[in-house]
Amino acid sequence: MQKKVWITSMSREKKQITGLLNLTKKYGLAPDGHFWVDDLQKMAWQAPLENLLAKDTALWVISCTQKNLESESVRYGLSLLCLSLQHIKGIGFPILFVCPDESLKIEDLPTPFRGCDIIKSDNKSLAAKMTAKANTPVKKISTEYRINIHANQGYGIWFELGPAKGTTWNGVLAGGLTSEANAHGVGPKDSIPLKTILEYQMQGLKLESGKDHYTAWAVKNIIDENQSYYVRFTDIPGSILFGQLPDEEDEADFHLLTLV
């Protein structure tokens, strides 16, 4: 089966995208892709998800400049798409940023992209790098948590959170940096529950992480590998902090993801 490379172009500069398409074809890869649309309200970030999840898609290439990623809504949409992809294909799925200069740095990217690579568009090893990544089995990388995204224009963007397989959270907490939650629930994994029973729910909890201040919601429900905590924020949360709800004797140990 011919390996497919999905190319997301953050600009409509034809020379850049045409060069990538021709290069992938030349080295035996099947290129396809789209131009990025920055429209969170219409969930435009979801448009390429089905193609990225296709069995024959082996590499995600993002063609951009640092300036293309300056918008908070663009970075948030990319993070939501990346988390949705990684939920199915794993966080080891290869992602490659192709840029015309060296202004974009890994440490400047949202957390979901910290394991990707960045390469200049005129680098002579670009074709070899894409070919190698597309033909290398996805490395399994474990995490201490589960995260998925559920979204449509009707019910908004929900984060599904839970512990890794074989572990349990005795209560759960989730907070946003720049936006507070406005709804939450507990239910079976992979589907937002229509009805939910919340045990000792708490709202407006104040947390600090370094110099940042988070506002969190929490419940004392037991969350295991088959149950999830679902939370929705009023707006772009910037970063989210989540994990097991600590008791009075345990020190808090939360997970922190930067999404913009």
Cα separation, 21 vs 58, in Å, equals 15
What pLDDT digit, counting tens, does each position of 179-238 carry?
999 999 999 999 999 999 999 999 999 999 999 999 999 999 999 999 999 999 999 999
Q: In what order do the strands lie in the sheet with 145-152?
A: 145-152, 156-163, 227-233, 181-188
Rounded to whole angstroms, the Cα distance separating 84 from 148 reads 6
Half-sphere exposure of 255 (CA within 13 A, CB side): 20
Question: For residue 168, which amino acid is it?
Answer: T
Please write the tens of the pLDDT for every residue from 53-82: 999 999 999 999 999 999 999 999 999 999
For 141-192, write each residue's pLDDT tens digit: 999 999 999 999 999 999 999 999 999 999 999 999 999 999 999 999 999 9
Q: Tens of pLDDT along 8-22? A: 999 888 778 888 999
250 confidence band (pLDDT: 50, 70, 90) = low
Q: Which element (helix H / strand E) includes 24?
A: helix 14-26
Q: For position 58, what pLDDT does the model report?
A: 98
